[in-house]
Structure 1
Amino acid sequence: MKYFKIRRLLVAAVCVSAPFLAGCDKQNLSTLGMLGPTSSKVEAPPESSTATLYLTIVRGLIDQGRYRAALGYLDQYAVSEKKTPQFSSLHGEALLGVAKYDEAATAFASLQGTDLEAVGFNGLGRVDASREKWSEAERHFTQAVAARPSNADYLNNLGFAEIQLGDAASLEKAEFNLRQARELEPTSASIRNNLVLALTMANKKDEARAVIDGIATSRERAAVQKFAADWAQKQHKPAEDRSVE
């Protein structure tokens, strides 16, 4: 009876999340200057059938932004199932979603030494980024990339942290990492837009224009160019000017 109840919830979660996932690649201003997708979309290790159903439901809820509901299912899971690295990864995502940063960091840190270690480092970087601790974020994203060098999302996150640091050396690293990420994921709007930011911040206007010119629609090209220019101008303001905005 328990299996069929979970199964019905699983079907509902998958059906609801499908349109959301299909829309993730659509260009909008929320993809400008953003970190990459969450680490909930990772290859899950083998679990028992009941555990797999619970964690699949949780992944669907996290993809929908229903973090408190996900925490409820994770609490229920913990009553009868073993806490695996996959559980800790999803637990970290849900806690990060409700801004419980210390608890999220603990969950992600527990993944060190497991097959999801790279996910843990990326999660720790995203916790740092949420707190605007960009030096720490860069360090954790660097560790994630070292563990999974071909992961475009981790390279994108690292590049964005380096953009936030803003010095010449960091911007040079950001450009390299974002170009590599873009070769790995050529269709990603987030990676492309972060690359435009890096080039704009480094005053490489012609190279930034070349990337922008590759955007299909004029409206989107104008939006990306304006956002990058405004963002760079804001970052270059004296600290006292930025503090009053």
Structure 2
Amino acid sequence: MRAPLIAALILPLALLASQVAARQEEQASETSTRTLYLGLIGQARADGKPRAALAYLDDFERQHPDDREARILRVNCLLDLNQIDGARQALARIPADDRSAGALAVRGHVFTAQGQWGDAAQAYAAAQAASPADPFIANAHGYAQLRAGAGVQAVETLRRALDLVPDGAPANAVVRNNLALALTATGRSAEAAALLSRIRDTTERSRVQQELGREALRIAQAGGGIVPMAQ
């Protein structure tokens, strides 16, 4: 006599299982599409094509209008194009209480673009606290400290960034050069020279020294208190 009841229960359970499976498949598809789009956007930026990245973002945000990572990427793309006002407007779409490393770092990027070095250093410090092992944030933080006049702190921050970047990685040279600049700014030119001596190609080393010398002079003229590197 219980068979009809059991059969009645089995049918809804089977339907529920089918609905759950369909939803899981839909979510997997959405995740795959999101990953694909964000990958395309990141690659376009890496290739120096920020306008293409913005086009992908426009398409992506029609499907995912509240995606936090997409909002952060939009600010970065606009900064790539030196559209500072647009970047500020895009930044306003990121909630002020978003304390993720990405949101905090992009605030620092906007301050940097406006030459507000003290505010940039504070934003990067918060981002670094949220993601202590990120060498890119540490590098940005150190450079902002340097431009804000905190050369001693900048040296330590940039040393940390350099330790976090694998040897041979493209970012390694960027961090190394910023550290050499900070060392020079704090009167430690011998340490700066020793750091640059790691560049084995003498022609390349000379080129880097000249570029850093020009950068140091530019910062000094802007009031950063930097002593130009000896040529």
TM-score relative to the length of structure 1: 0.69
Percentage of matched positions with identical amino acids: 31
Say yes or no: does 1:210 pair with 2:190. no
Say yes or no: does 1:229 pair with 2:229. no
Structure having greater relative contact order (Cα 8 Å, sep ≥ 6): 1
CA contact (8 A) 1:125 1:136 kept: yes
Which position in structure 2 is the counterpart of 1:192?
A: 176
Displacement of 1:184: 1.1
One-letter amino acid of the structure 2 residue matched with residue 176 of structure 1: E
Alpha-carbon distance in structure 1 between the residues aligned to 2:166 and 2:64: 40
Moved more, 93-102 or 155-164: 93-102
Which position in structure 2 is the counterpart of 1:4?
A: none
One-letter amino acid of the structure 1 residue matched with residue 79 of structure 2: L
Alpha-carbon distance in structure 1 between the residues aligned to 2:222 and 2:78: 35
Off by >6 Å, runs of 4+ in structure 1: none
Residues 152-177 of structure 1, C-alpha deviations (whole Å, 9 max, x = no match):
111110111112123xxx10000000
Say yes or no: does 1:165 pair with 2:148. yes
Alpha-carbon distance in structure 1 between the residues aligned to 2:97 and 2:64: 21
Say yes or no: does 1:121 pair with 2:107. no
Q: CA RMSD in A?
A: 2.4
CA contact (8 A) 1:144 1:154 kept: yes
Aligned residue pair count? 190
Residues 27-72 of structure 1, C-alpha deviations (whole Å, 9 max, x = no match):
xxxxxxxxxxxxxxxxxxx953333322222222222222222222
Task: Indicate how the Cα distance of structure 1 residues 112 and 151 shifts in structure 2: closer, same or farther if over 3 A, else same.
Answer: farther
One-letter amino acid of the structure 1 residue matched with residue 116 of structure 2: K
Structure 2: give runs of 5+ residues left out of the alignment. 1-28, 224-231
One-letter amino acid of the structure 2 residue matched with residue 64 of structure 1: D
Alpha-carbon distance in structure 1 between the residues aligned to 2:118 and 2:127: 14
Structure number with bigger Rg? 2
One-letter amino acid of the structure 2 residue matched with residue 172 of structure 1: V
Alpha-carbon distance in structure 2 between the residues aligned to 1:144 and 1:47: 29
Alpha-carbon distance in structure 2 between the residues aligned to 1:93 and 1:49: 23
Say yes or no: does 1:91 pair with 2:74. yes
Structure 1: give runs of 5+ residues left out of the alignment. 1-45, 240-245
Residues 173-207 of structure 1, C-alpha deviations (whole Å, 9 max, x = no match):
00000111111115300010001000111111111
Moved more, 213-222 or 95-104: 95-104
